Amino acid sequence: MKPYQPDFSIEKAVQQELPYMMTMREHFHAHPELSGKEYHTCQRIVEELHKAGIEDVRTIAETGVTGLIRGALPGPVLLLRADIDALPLTEQYQCPYSSQTPGVMHACGHDGHAANLLGVARILQAHRNCLRGTIRLAFQPAEEGDGGAARMIKEGILTQPTVDYALGLHVAGSMPQGYIGLRHGDCSASCDDFTITIHGKGGHGSRPSDCVSPIQMGVSIISQIQDYVYHRRADGDGVVLTFGQFQAGHNPNVIPDDAELKGTLRTYDETKRHEILHTLEEILASTAAIYGGTCHLDVVPFALVCQNDPAVTQHVEDILHDTCGQRIKIVPIERGSGSEDFAYFSAAVPACFYYVGVYDEDPVYGHNPEFHWSSKALAYMADSLLHVVYYFADKV
């Protein structure tokens, strides 16, 4: 039997589509929107998908978008995901398409993710005749801490038709263009952001014995939980617990009534994750009993551990090596302590999430006001994803 091969050149199709993807990326970059407020972005994506003739185009999870591309040949149902939200940062890098929205910028590459998936969708739609299987598009809102992936799943994006596998990618400012970073197994950490509200009894700083200091309680809590994590539960396994905010009082000689601590917990193990959060509750209870105040813990889960399915990830690696190996270098990467809510898709169906290098000369780092990269890097995103999609049926 003759080996399967698409009846068109994916590489040439990407080059033809690249100006469109660059235009869309730079449009999204100039008009960034925060998590849950991606109204203009959502509307533009819907318009572009309708223009391409894609079916079942609709909004989901309020400001997300989905659509369906049915291949002419039998094959699996693949979900392709791109996040679309921006960050609350003021852009400092000047370029013709710099953010026009004060205090908001695409500092994580989601503008490129959205533009890439639009270009990929247009190519898939135009070449449905040699597409094996069905593609469910997922333009996901609220990746930056507001549960967009979980809400898309809750609203049924993995059904009608039932999704078999999920694929996602992310720009990597630490890798040059032409490189793809891939990891088998756990590729990013779970994340739980938490707030501890402490109520004590205020008074004058000259008479601390008349007071219950929420500041002293907070210091004790920080010390106890960090001692527990790093001496009892870290075990070299990448557990990270960080406090980023401690607010209390206004005057140097007045003990305040209240204090607030905010922090984040990252793990690669669900058992440890739950043990640490449970121990934090116990520390709060014992601290309140010792000092005579009260403590309240509010945990906001952001993401699970993102797990790359071993078989799916091997398929992706083999396809990229066999079809793109001459122009794309695949490198293994270490797991990061950052978090990614694609993890909810990877928990629901076998999935693979990989990283695409974007820098020209020097590395660039996301979530900072100077983050920038050339839109030409979109070619590597589209090229890699399309090859995986068109050849995926060979592997399953």
CA distance 47 to 108: 24
Please indicate whether residue 33 is annotated as part of the active site.
no
Q: Are 162 and 77 in contact (CB under 8 A)?
A: yes
CA distance 308 to 310: 6
Looking at the structure, tell me whether residues 72 and 178 fall in a common domain.
yes
Angle subtended by helix axes 214-228 and 270-291, to nearest 10: 150
pLDDT at residue 340, as a whole number: 93
User: Which residue in 17, 48, 111, 143 is the catalytic one?
Assistant: 143
Using 50, 70 and 90 to split pLDDT, how confident is the model at 56?
very high
Specify the pTM.
Answer: 0.92
Angle subtended by helix axes 39-51 and 110-126, to nearest 10: 20
Q: Are 152 and 342 in contact (CB under 8 A)?
A: no
Please check the confidence at residue 172 and state whether its pLDDT lies above 80. yes
To the nearest whole percent, how much of the chain has pLDDT over 90? 91
Q: Are 338 and 174 in contact (CB under 8 A)?
A: no
Domain boundary among 270, 303, 336: 303
- Over range 36-63, report the average pLDDT: 98
Segment (H or E) for 111? helix 110-126
Domain residue limits at 389: 10-187+305-394
Looking at the structure, tell me whether residues 85 and 145 fall in a common domain.
yes
Please indicate whether residue 144 is annotated as part of the active site.
no
User: 10 Å Cβ neighbour count for 377?
Assistant: 23
DSSP-assigned beta bridge partners for residue 203:
255
Looking at the structure, tell me whether residues 175 and 288 fall in a common domain.
no
pLDDT tens digits for range 83-111: 999 999 999 999 999 999 999 999 999 99
pLDDT at residue 1, as a whole number: 66
Looking at the structure, tell me whether residues 178 and 296 fall in a common domain.
no
Q: Are 198 and 294 in contact (CB under 8 A)?
A: yes
pLDDT at residue 338, as a whole number: 85
Residue 349 belongs to a domain with what CATH number?
A: 3.40.630.10
Looking at the structure, tell me whether residues 236 and 114 fall in a common domain.
no
Domain count across the chain = 2
SS3 217: helix
Looking at the structure, tell me whether residues 218 and 156 fall in a common domain.
no
CA distance 332 to 120: 25
Looking at the structure, tell me whether residues 240 and 377 fall in a common domain.
no
The secondary structure of residue 60, as a DSSP letter, is E
pLDDT tens digits for range 372-384: 999 999 999 999 9
Q: What is the mean pLDDT of the chain?
A: 95
User: Which residue in 85, 146, 257, 383 is the catalytic one?
Assistant: 85
Looking at the structure, tell me whether residues 183 and 205 fall in a common domain.
no
Looking at the structure, tell me whether residues 199 and 103 fall in a common domain.
no
Looking at the structure, tell me whether residues 124 and 250 fall in a common domain.
no
CA distance 276 to 232: 10
Looking at the structure, tell me whether residues 163 and 65 fall in a common domain.
yes
The secondary structure of residue 63, as a DSSP letter, is T
pLDDT tens digits for range 205-255: 999 999 999 999 999 999 999 999 988 766 667 788 999 999 999 999 999
Q: Are strands 64-70 and 132-140 parallel, antiparallel or unpaired?
A: antiparallel
SS3 175: strand
CA atoms within 13 A on the CB side of 16: 9
